[in-house]
Structure 1
Amino acid sequence: MQLLPDAPESALLDLVERIQQEPPYSYKPGEIRPAADWFPPLVEKSHVALVATAGSRPVGYCVSLPVVTYGKLNDLLSQLAIEPETTEYLAELAVDSSVRRQGIASAVLDRMRELLPPTTTTVLLRTLTENTTAIAFYQRHGYQVVDGVQQVWNGRQRLFLTRRNRS
């Protein structure tokens, strides 16, 4: 596995689409916007965008950006008890189902944290409420569930987790 700042865009977008259509998300074609519409603009705003590859094939990706740049959480910032100016939002972290449980997500997550701006104090993310596998993964990496704050996004209930990035 290699971590690259970019990979062939069409192959990466295909991976993003596949992951969105597999469990736990299981979006049907047409239920959400195509990845080509939302993923490249997200990467454009990012501080960190990583692609894990096996050979030349993308097998995972990670995108983080300043929470204030993301904008889709503005109504929840006070409830999340974070400092928006120093909080990074982990918008995307996913691995192809064919290569899961091989340490790829951990490697990508660790590398993302290394590349964050030095002023970052907190990393915030959200995941599906019923995605207990992801929640446990993030908790193993030091993230804590934010009690009492949830959001419905793309028709699915999500919860938030945070991790202090630097002491």
Structure 2
Amino acid sequence: MDSQITPLIESILFLSEKPLTEKELSIMLNVNIDFIRNSLQQLIDIYASELHGIQIKKVANGYCMCTKSEFGDILKNFFQSENRLSEAAIETLAIIAYNQPVTKIRVDEIRGINSEKSIQTLLERGLIRESGRSDSPGRPILYETTDNFLRYFGLNSIKDLPDIE
């Protein structure tokens, strides 16, 4: 069975709709977590070759298969998404990501315009969520990003966001 673990992990990552953690794979396959780590590293090394257009990448604290970033522009031409975020939604999402947890009022102040529609879109897409209420008057809702946000942008954690210039 040990010789089948690495290809089995590869198959699971290929079929999974979300990144899987080492612990999830360990429990799923009933295998020691160190063995899972070694298998993942083998797969990462194999797919790092220029002969492959995909890679095993750590995102949102788990591992997934995805296309290599250097092919992004070419692939966009073939797979245009009709579900792209609007500029307003991306701007709103960036404000939330860099200021979280943050209220809609603060987002509106930074943008200089009402962000209700953008926030609603981001909530529906699962890129942000309500994270509680502020202690300020009226106790407005606080918003923060989700693991879907990390996956969407290929980040492992919020700390991987580029610095604001």
Place the TM-score, normalised by the shorter chain, in its bin. Answer: under 0.3
As a proportion of its length, which structure holds more helix? 2
TM-score by length of 1: 0.25
TM-score by length of 2: 0.26
